[in-house]
């Protein structure tokens, strides 16, 4: 590799300069060098033009300005299509710098995807992705609207929700290492569900326009990404079917007070406990009513993990229920009443459910601190 000597200090300074003012000055200097290269080309000083363009490509590549580096490589090809050494070496430098620039944490999260790709395909995918951050309860895409992005979840938790009339149903939780939006990304259709953040979220997304470019530039990459998403969707659908089957357990109508408290991702409690009124229960979950004048607050419960406690009496003895689970449905009823539908993390024992079938009402005050014999 050869360098124009006057560009060596500029390369070092430009790549490591943090001052915006100094960086602007250096950018202006690079622009002047670029114009000089074009002047050489116009004067048929091809060798000088090739050398200067090659050096500029290296500078921009090492500064991680890959669009500019690639644009200059195209110019290099226009100036001298037979400068194969420089053209090939420039491509190698750009790919090498791209590989260095890839976030290792990102690679770890999406290792199963990247191991199916070549180095060039990996770089094409990574540098086509854009990043975004969201706070809790923000809409990523909405049922009934168009979506032209494929989302790669890097951090945080989201909920995929289906809305029908006043009923909101949780289809699945979406977490780090999962993809969302594939239904409308690979097929031109409207969203049949909504994706809403459940916590602070960091994600990457691919625009359909960039994906479509791959149909000619990186055909195998487009195909491999589609296959990867198809495999993930089958896994998601299988998990969803399993959860649906868990909701098919026989339900027993019960009534009485229940205490519930929202939990965070690490299993700790958020805020104070609230009271509700039990409606029914099965080995897989339960439902209860709450009263609130705020529809927003009620719907924010969807997809949240909560802990529930209540006590029911059998003769002179009693059994305390203490369970955690995820709220999979919230239904708006009249007069500010909402029914909340909870899926247990772990099934209740059949014995407990059989005992529940012998009663219809739980004790008036649920146990706040269930004993070690809690179900």
pTM over 0.75: no
Query: What CATH number has the domain bearing residue 126?
Result: 2.60.120.10
- Clarify whether residues 295 and 261 are in a common domain: yes
- Clarify whether residues 12 and 94 are in a common domain: yes
Is 107 strand, coil or helix? helix
Q: Are 324 and 374 in contact (CB under 8 A)?
A: no
Residue 370 lies in a domain: no
325 bridge partner residues: 306, 344
314 bridge partner residues: 317
Q: Which residues contact 269 (CB under 8 A, 6 or more apart)?
A: 261, 262, 263, 307
Q: What is the pLDDT along the chain (375 residues), one digit of tens a residue?
A: 444 555 555 555 555 555 666 666 677 788 888 899 999 999 999 999 999 999 999 988 888 888 899 899 999 999 998 888 888 889 888 888 887 878 888 989 999 999 999 988 998 999 899 999 999 999 999 998 989 999 999 999 999 998 887 788 888 899 999 999 998 898 877 898 999 999 899 999 999 999 988 988 888 999 999 999 999 988 877 766 555 444 557 788 888 899 999 998 788 998 899 999 999 888 889 999 999 888 778 878 888 899 999 987 776 777 888 999 999 888 887 778 899 999 999 988 876 766 766 665 555 555 454 443 344
For residue 93, what are the domain limits?
7-101
Query: What CATH number has the domain bearing residue 333?
Result: 2.40.10.220
Residue 374 lies in a domain: no
172 bridge partner residues: 160
- Clarify whether residues 66 and 165 are in a common domain: no
Residue 362 lies in a domain: no
Tally of domains within the chain: 3
Residue whose structure tokens are 């602007």: 24
Q: Are 224 and 112 in contact (CB under 8 A)?
A: no
Nearest 5 degrees, angle CA 344-CA 345-CA 351?
A: 60
User: How many whole angstroms separate alpha carbon 135 and alpha carbon 155?
Assistant: 12
- Helix or strand holding residue 294 (H, E): none
User: How many whole angstroms separate alpha carbon 162 and alpha carbon 169?
Assistant: 5
- Clarify whether residues 286 and 341 are in a common domain: yes
Residue 239 lies in a domain: yes
- Clarify whether residues 82 and 128 are in a common domain: no
Question: Considering Cα of 30, then 35, then 36, then 41, what sign does the dihedral take?
Answer: positive
């Amino acid at each position: 590799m050869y360098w124009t000597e006057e560009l060596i200090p500029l390369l070092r300074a430009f790549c490591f300069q943090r001052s915006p003012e100094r960086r602007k000055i250096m950018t202006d200097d690079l622009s002047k060098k670029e114009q000089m290269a074009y002047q050489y080309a116009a004067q048929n000083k091809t060798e000088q033009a090739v050398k200067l363009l090659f050096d500029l490509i290296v500078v921009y590549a090492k500064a991680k300005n890959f669009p500019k580096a690639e644009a200059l490589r195209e110019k290099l090809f226009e100036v001298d299509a037979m400068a194969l050494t420089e053209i090939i070496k420039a491509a190698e430098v750009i790919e090498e710098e791209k590989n260095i620039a890839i976030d290792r944490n990102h690679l770890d999260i999406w290792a199963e995807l990247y191991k199916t790709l070549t180095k060039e395909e990996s770089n094409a995918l990574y540098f086509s992705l854009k990043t975004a951050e969201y706070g809790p309860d923000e809409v990523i895409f909405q049922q009934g609207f168009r979506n032209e992005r494929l989302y790669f979840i890097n951090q945080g938790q989201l909920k995929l929700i289906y809305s029908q009339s006043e009923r909101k149903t949780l289809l699945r939780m979406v977490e780090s290492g999962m993809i969302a939006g594939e239904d409308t990304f690979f097929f031109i259709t409207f969203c049949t569900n909504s994706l809403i953040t459940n916590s602070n979220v960091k994600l990457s997304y691919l625009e359909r326009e960039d994906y479509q470019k791959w149909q000619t530039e990186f055909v195998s990459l487009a195909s491999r990404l589609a296959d990867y998403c198809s495999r993930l969707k089958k896994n998601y659908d299988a998990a969803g079917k399993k959860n649906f089957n868990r909701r098919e357990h026989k339900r027993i109508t019960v009534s009485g007070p229940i205490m519930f408290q929202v939990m965070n991702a690490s299993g700790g409690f958020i805020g104070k406990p609230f009271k509700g009124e039990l409606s029914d229960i099965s080995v897989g979950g339960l439902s209860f009513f709450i009263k609130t004048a705020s529809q927003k607050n009620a719907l924010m419960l969807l997809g949240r993990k909560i802990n529930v406690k209540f006590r029911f009496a059998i003769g002179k003895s009693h059994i305390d229920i203490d369970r955690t689970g995820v709220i999979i449905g919230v239904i708006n009823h009249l007069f500010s009443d909402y029914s909340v539908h909870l899926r247990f993390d772990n099934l209740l024992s059949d014995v407990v459910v059989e005992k529940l079938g012998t009663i219809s009402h739980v004790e008036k005050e649920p146990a706040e601190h269930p004993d070690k014999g809690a179900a």
